[in-house]
Structure 1
Amino acid sequence: MSHAAQAPSLSQVSSERHRSDQLKKRAHTRSLIARTLTYVLLIAMTIVIIFPLLIVLITSFTPNKLTQTWPPKIIPSSFTFDNYTSLFQRMPIGRQMVNTVIFAGTVTIFSVFFDAMAAYGLSRIDFKGRGFLLGLLIATMMIPAMALLIPVYKLLASMNLVNSYWGIIIPRLADVGGIFLLRQFFISLPKDLDNAARIDGAGEFRIFLQIVLPNAKSAVLVVAMFNFMGNWNDLLWPLIMTSKPETRTITAGLAMLTGHGSSVTPYGVVMAGALISALPLLIIFFFIQKSFVQGIAMTGIK
């Protein structure tokens, strides 16, 4: 009787183990399929994102006559360095790169500092009319940039700032979007830090520099990077404010290459210039990508 009673029990245990193994195998198979599909999707998205850059790279080494053929070929039959030689002959690209660095770098430094100070006042200091002032700043974002081009240009022209660094820098010294983003981040910081510093005798500017800014590095980095990229790639404003090749930024200089004395656009030369223009941004992002992505994540969470 005892052996007969034990036999079904052992069979049941064996069946349960077999069922458990089957479930584990199915779960492992599903997980493997899900990971494989995820990797395939990520690889496909990466190819789609990188593909335009590869086209720019290939076209920059393609003879100009081959860039005019139809249908276009992704891989040309021959390669050349003439596009880069022609680029340096057609425009003072070294000087324009320096102009772009000065323009984008100066605007980024001043704009981030001024944006952070304004955000500090709107988030950490209680004063009458603070809400109205914030609403007024946000309302200015609804004004189309095109509507301000002529008035701002006339104002700067009356100050003899056309074809000068300050002419393209001054209108960009503050940004409402940066103020709003930093304000939202500053609000999340505990005010006990400010109060403790005030008890120790620290003033508002010292609190701003030594307490708030160090605790907001991630948000400041995000604003700075967006600011730098936006001004580096800006075309319309530098193109309007500069009329001499030696005072233009590289984006404005490349725009002048289109139809340069000819009805045929030198696509190979333009792509060579575009690649040179993009390289500094790619190098900068390569070194700060971890902090940049972390900053965006933290800013979004907070």
Structure 2
Amino acid sequence: MLKKARISKYIAYLFLIVLCIIWVVPVVFGVTTSFRSQSEVVSAGFRLLPENWMLDNYVTILENTSTAPILRWLLNSVFIACTHTFLVVVIISITGYGYSRMNFRGRDTLFFTLLGISFFPGVVNIIPSYKIIEAFGWVNTSWAMIIPGLAGMGNIFLVRQFLKGIPQELDESARVDGAGDFKIYFAIILPLIKPILIVCGLFSFVGSWNDFLWPVIVYTDVENMPITAGLLLLQDIYGNYRMIGQLMGSAMLAIIPTLLLFAFAQKYFIQSINLNSGIKG
């Protein structure tokens, strides 16, 4: 039995290593391509490391502030993603508290009905969503990216499930001392659900940052675009095998914020793997 367990462990390690290589090699190749000259990109074929490392691609990207203002796009994306994430955390924490702690008629029916509706593909809402955004005058503004999706039922479900691991005796004790719902929420619940809120915030930030289809639809003004819509524009400027190094350099700049975010916040994923990891009674 011990030998079989050891063999199974080695097979699992080998499988994970293969998956890691499959994921890492394209990323490394993209990074190294951004440091190659255009002639090397076209003529060298597949070579993981460049013959001559150069920063000319990044210099060209950063100097182009007219047709491709990538720094402006990055700032737009940071503002959009941070604002969207903050509002998401506020809304899902309050909503999750309501669905798990407050008793009202039809609570569970309403929750599971909205949860079921959320399983429909998001693409079916594109035209209605655009009409609503257009009616509010939010086309080509940051609000077109910030407001939609704030009350995602997936995040609310995670918060609700996490709250089920926190004993309601804490609420009852606070009520005996005269605390109301808002006092209980701010003083007791909010500090306890911080791990799951951080995870939901990370998912929301990455989802907002990486959203591609929606910003392409709602943005036509180059100055107001987020980075994902800007990268599509860069395909016309740098694509067609003319400036592949600049195109890859722009893509590498676009993923830096999310990589840093995961690097500093990965411990919170471990804390929130168990949705019932709240205080046990």
TM-score by length of 1: 0.82
Distance 1:146 1:45, change over 3 A: closer
Q: Distance in 1 between matches of 2:133 and 2:13?
A: 53
Equivalent in 160, 166, 170 of residue 183 of structure 1: 160
Deviation at 1:260, TM superposition (A): 2.0
Partner of 1:139: 116
Shift of the alpha carbon at 1:124? 0.8
Specify the alignment match of 1:79 in structure 2.
53
Which of the numbers 29, 39, 42 marks the counterpart of 1:55? 29
Kindly tell me: are residues 121 and 73 of structure 1, through their superposed partners in 2, closer, same or farther at Cα, counting changes over 3 Å?
same
What residue number does 2:201 align with?
Answer: 224
The number of equivalent residue pairs is: 275
1:77 partner letter: E
Could you tell which deviates more after superposition, 46-55 or 272-281?
A: 46-55
- Give the whole-Å Cα distance in 2 for the aligned partners of 1:282 and 1:261: 24
Query: Any idea what the Cα deviations from partners look like across 1:233-267, whole Å, max 9, x if unmatched?
Result: 11111221111121011111111111328744633
**Larger helix proportion of the pair:** 1
Aligned residue identity for 1:218? P
Partner Cα separation in structure 1 for residue 57 and residue 47 of structure 2: 18
- Structure 2, unmatched stretches of 5+, are none
Does the CA contact (< 8 Å) of 1:108 and 1:228 recur in 2?
Answer: yes
How big is each residue's C-alpha offset from its partner over 1:40-68, in whole Å with a ceiling of 9 and x where there is no partner? Answer: 55544433332222111111112233333
Aligned equivalents of 1:148, 1:291: Cα separation in 2: 32
Which residue among 99, 103, 110 is the counterpart of 2:76? 99
Percent of residue pairs identical: 35
C-alpha separation in 2, matches of 1:268 and 1:51: 17
- Shifted more, 164-173 versus 45-54: the winner is 45-54
Bigger mean CA deviation after superposition, 186-195 or 256-265:
256-265
In 2 relative to 1, CA 287–63 (structure 1 residues): closer, same or farther, beyond 3 Å? Answer: same
Bigger Rg over Cα: 1
Cα-Cα RMSD = 2.5
1:289 pairs with 2:266: yes
Which SS does the other structure have where 2:211 is aligned?
coil
The amino acid that maps onto 1:122 is: Y
Which residue identity is paired with 1:83?
N
- Equivalence for 1:250: 227
Amino acid at match of 1:56: G
1-structure distance, mates of 2:209, 2:120: 23
